[in-house]
Amino acid sequence: MTLKLVSFDLCPYEQRASIALAEKNVPFERINIDLANKPDWFKAISPLGKVPLLVVGDAVLFESSVIVEYLDETVEPRLHPADALTKARHRAWMEFGSSILANIWTIETASDEAAFEQAVAQVGEKFARLEGVLGEGPFFSGEAFSVVDAVFAPVFRYFDGFERRIDLGVFAGKPKLVGWRKALAARGSVKEAVVPDYAERLLAFVDRHGGVLAARMADRKAA
């Protein structure tokens, strides 16, 4: 049975599931949809009208955290640590990663300067918090790749795109975070989780929204 992963081309939450599937060598079919013109079949099977979805036979799973937990419970190798307390700690940092994605959405789309600056500052503060808990690496918990890594790889990937035009400075003075970011970017499962022209599509998305980030990128390019 081939699993089907339903999403759209820029979804960071879908990337979590895609990375987990690749780490476990599970074959799957990726189906991208247009969220601005959702097909009827998608609306019929998505209770919240959101992506990603994982179609397992006749069953449909929604919410990326649920999808990743299901995969980790049913397919080896396990990406979560075995120790219950460590696993709970990892799950808490996964939620922390989701909060950063909310800040990044504001960075991408905000038309208000104050909201934009606040979101950038919040990402910088959260990255500083991460810097304080990271060990020697290369991954979140050391040598072993875990679900936390699958959560943060899409977070860092945004800045790979942004930095083609502008450096927001959120990685400055955070050498452990920079090392973690580089290790994730080099991982095969992370590379394969997006389309080859992901960065170009991301920047086009920013341009279409015409917010503060788009304006600053345009000013930097003109300079």
Mark which of 15, 41, 74 sits at the end of a domain: 74
Instruction: Give the pLDDT band of residue 192 (cuts 50, 70, 90).
Output: very high
Single-letter residue type at 66: V
Q: Check whether 188 has a pLDDT greater than 80.
A: yes
Total number of domains constituting the chain: 2
pLDDT digits (tens, 9 = 90+) for 136-154: 999 999 999 999 999 999 9
pLDDT digits (tens, 9 = 90+) for 17-65: 999 999 999 999 999 999 999 999 999 999 999 999 999 999 999 999 9
Per-residue pLDDT at 102: 98
Quick one: average pLDDT of 118-131? 98
**CATH number of the domain to which 30 belongs:** 3.40.30.10
Q: Residues 179, 100: one domain?
A: yes
Structure pTM?
0.95
Q: Check whether 213 has a pLDDT greater than 90.
A: yes
Centre a 10 Å sphere on the Cβ of residue 26 and count the other Cβ atoms it contains.
Answer: 13
Q: Residues 90, 194: one domain?
A: yes
**CATH number of the domain to which 188 belongs:** 1.20.1050.10
Instruction: Give the pLDDT band of residue 220 (cuts 50, 70, 90).
Output: confident
Per-residue pLDDT at 223: 61
Quick one: average pLDDT of 97-121? 98
Q: Which domain holds residue 20?
A: 3-74
Here the tokens at position 19 are: 């990375």
Residue 61 contacts residue 54 (beta carbons within 8 Å) = yes
Per-residue pLDDT at 219: 84
Positions marked catalytic: 11
Q: Is the peptide bond before 81 cis (omega within 30 degrees of 0)?
A: no
pLDDT digits (tens, 9 = 90+) for 49-60: 999 999 999 999
